[in-house]
Structure 1
């Protein structure tokens, strides 16, 4: 294993399981790619134990080095993480070309205090590897105006779906750098669900409770596989063009007082997820699919999730090492914000997410003919070509 997609998938599952501890039986939706891209841009400027902790949390220390570029700002300068940084460069280029049949875009931006001295090597590398340009702003004298400018950029990059990523009070005169990632996706189903077939149907929250939801219904040829050992059925719902798909992971059993997802979530690993969503040798079957129409909007402060995963020094003034960013001491990561949006309907899926990071300086096998998704499930949107998970979620109550 040495690919960025594997590292991102491992981080995705680690993050999901940690977030689930605080959100028991609740809907969850986030973009692991957005979070890992933003964190990797921060890691690019980190040093010492701060960099090592971030590498381990993101699993980028496991990515094989790719040292063939040999040009200014290349990964040779970034040790074991170099392979991941160069693969991010390739991934961003690949995703930028994936808009022929679906709208898919990912963008990075650095908003830096105009009077602060950043290392030119860092700025060159961020531009070269992450396509992240530096935009000078006035955090010292016009913090609110700068916050508005950053929020406007995010809103534009996400088709208007992510508003006010940086809340009031999140930016002040001690802010020196904000690193932002924004991702947007809109795709139509390869086989659309017809509006006339959507009707209210029960969705089982557990064995004792249910609620009526708008349930879409469609018939067509899909790839579906049942994993006997884990008792999970996996359905692939491709978008037009076939380059991206949604995968539904539906547990077969549902418990009395729970969602039925506990066994699946404890069993899922990177290796199993890669196996389950590999449909290369699965034949198309004619299936009637019932899928709830749903919409989610999530907002999350990420520091309480990242710290238990092992990323600690970056948030502590006395221990943070951002010597690769600037020669000035006293820099630390003060805030990490993630907002996400998804809407699934008869036409297809629209999803967006943005991640903002603020660096401050101290002022001091059995195929059924019918597949009814009528109880809690996990889902993800995957870029099939690069095998990267763009979005991941849990639907407990549509």
Structure 2
């Protein structure tokens, strides 16, 4: 993940991928791409949006507390990830299905679950003259592999994920490039190389993808002439210089003892539209904002927003993030899908498939005019014996060593290395 000059930026980005935080209330069902522009929310979305939000907060906490990401920015699309994994869930059975449902907080009732995602996809893709927002799903199947027609039909009918047959067995690299090209086209070239080298091989049988793209202008744009270079505290004793935008307009605003909340809306034609919600700790410690990062608390903050004039100082920034989520999702409670015990028999009628990885990339650019954000998720499903994860041995700290004659076990030399350049 690239580190820009905003480590753990003290800013919570709630963009298109977090529409479920409260922008939506109740409404009507539909199949993706079939609903005309309307201010009436599709029926069923109310049944999946709380789970999407819950998953978003769970995943954020997992990533934020992972030592691998310590001191790093975090940015991802929970909607993209949950969409791709919801399609995966349609082919899962038994414990595998239960674990995916639990981690994603999906409705157990398949009719409710399917109608919810179909309606939400239709809502997000309905079109708006002031901003661009679209999302898309797809299946990429090994051309010789006998997937069940029922699974292919469910993915297409309820998730808009039509299947494309590829030759993974003989042309894995060409297949990977085809999928990556699809992602690039649907994210306006912002997400490139979603599937990294080696992620697709002759044992790959299916790749499930989701792509989401958003571009909108602020309802109250910042004046570029007022943007100045100013300090940004990345730590109590460390400051970096960043381009800071200055604004003076009416926004939704509230505060608690620990933090300030600001909602900056994007220009839109009808309905509530989209907005960026920013939670800013009153002190440098990001914990105050992260402790408020759950559905109930954020919903409470949004309800308490009052329209008032606010002097805003907000940094311009661009973030690129990428994650391999296999370990994270396993730790969150769905390990079975990544092992030989996986049951994805709803896809092919056998127990021979497992998820080899879940990859995710995200991009966001925030400037005086507005925001551009994109993300994509790939669920790679393979056939065969699950390979054991190779351990990592990184000798970048002191160690001891021995030179041993193996036949007799005689220790010939031993020692320790504290500084490889020292005496």
**Normalised TM-score (structure 2):** 0.77
**Deviation of 1:284 (Å):** 1.8
Query: Per the alignment, do residues 283 and 273 of structure 1 end up closer, same or farther by CA in structure 2, a change over 3 Å counting?
Result: closer
Number of the residue aligned with 1:74: none
Rounded to whole Å, the distance in 1 between the matches of 2:151 and 2:302 is 37
Number of the residue aligned with 1:85: 114
| Structure number with bigger Rg | 2
Rounded to whole Å, the distance in 2 between the matches of 1:122 and 1:265 is 39
Query: Map of 1:97-108 to 2, 5 A cutoff?
Result: 97-108=126-137
1:14 to 35, 58, 80: 58
Number of the residue aligned with 1:332: 354
Number of the residue aligned with 2:78: 32
Q: Does the 8 Å CA contact 2:92/2:345 hold for their aligned counterparts?
A: yes
Say if 2:345 is the partner of 1:345. no
**Deviation of 1:81 (Å):** 4.5
Rounded to whole Å, the distance in 2 between the matches of 1:110 and 1:268 is 33
Number of the residue aligned with 2:337: 314
- After superposition, what is the alpha-carbon deviation per residue over 1:287-328, rounded to whole angstroms, capped at 9, x for unaligned? 2211000000001000111011101110001x1001111113
Rounded to whole Å, the distance in 1 between the matches of 2:163 and 2:353 is 18
**SS in structure 2 opposite 1:126?**
helix
Q: How many residues align?
A: 337
Q: Does the 8 Å CA contact 1:174/1:363 hold for their aligned counterparts?
A: no
**Deviation of 1:205 (Å):** 1.7
Number of the residue aligned with 1:270: 295
Q: Does the 8 Å CA contact 2:64/2:70 hold for their aligned counterparts?
A: yes
- The more displaced of 89-98 and 17-26 is 17-26
Rounded to whole Å, the distance in 2 between the matches of 1:271 and 1:99 is 29
**SS in structure 2 opposite 1:324?**
helix
**Deviation of 1:246 (Å):** 0.4
**SS in structure 1 opposite 2:348?**
coil
Query: Per the alignment, do residues 191 and 263 of structure 1 end up closer, same or farther by CA in structure 2, a change over 3 Å counting?
Result: closer
1:238 to 242, 258, 265: 265
**SS in structure 2 opposite 1:29?**
coil
**SS in structure 2 opposite 1:37?**
helix
- After superposition, what is the alpha-carbon deviation per residue over 1:354-391, rounded to whole angstroms, capped at 9, x for unaligned? 00011101069xxxxxxxxxxxxxxxxxxxxxxxxxxx
Query: Map of 1:273-288 to 2, 5 A cutoff?
Result: 273-278=298-303, 282-288=305-311
Q: Which runs of 5+ in 1 are unaligned?
A: 62-78, 255-259, 365-398
- After superposition, what is the alpha-carbon deviation per residue over 1:73-107, rounded to whole angstroms, capped at 9, x for unaligned? xxxxxx53542222000000000114321100100
Rounded to whole Å, the distance in 2 between the matches of 1:301 and 1:13 is 18
CA-atom RMSD in angstroms: 1.5
Number of the residue aligned with 2:214: 185
Number of the residue aligned with 2:37: none
Number of the residue aligned with 1:4: 48
Q: Does the 8 Å CA contact 1:157/1:184 hold for their aligned counterparts?
A: yes
Q: Does the 8 Å CA contact 2:292/2:298 hold for their aligned counterparts?
A: no
Q: Which runs of 5+ in 2 are unaligned?
A: 1-24, 26-45, 387-423
Number of the residue aligned with 2:106: 60
Rounded to whole Å, the distance in 1 between the matches of 2:71 and 2:259 is 18
Number of the residue aligned with 2:16: none
**Deviation of 1:204 (Å):** 1.5
Rounded to whole Å, the distance in 1 between the matches of 2:289 and 2:262 is 15
Rounded to whole Å, the distance in 1 between the matches of 2:124 and 2:292 is 30
Q: Does the 8 Å CA contact 1:55/1:81 hold for their aligned counterparts?
A: no
Rounded to whole Å, the distance in 1 between the matches of 2:278 and 2:378 is 29
> Which aligned runs of 4 or more in structure 1 are off by greater than 6 angstroms?
none
Rounded to whole Å, the distance in 2 between the matches of 1:152 and 1:278 is 41
**Deviation of 1:274 (Å):** 1.7
Q: Does the 8 Å CA contact 1:204/1:211 hold for their aligned counterparts?
A: yes
**SS in structure 2 opposite 1:295?**
strand
Rounded to whole Å, the distance in 2 between the matches of 1:98 and 1:278 is 27
Q: Does the 8 Å CA contact 2:259/2:288 hold for their aligned counterparts?
A: no
**Deviation of 1:138 (Å):** 0.6
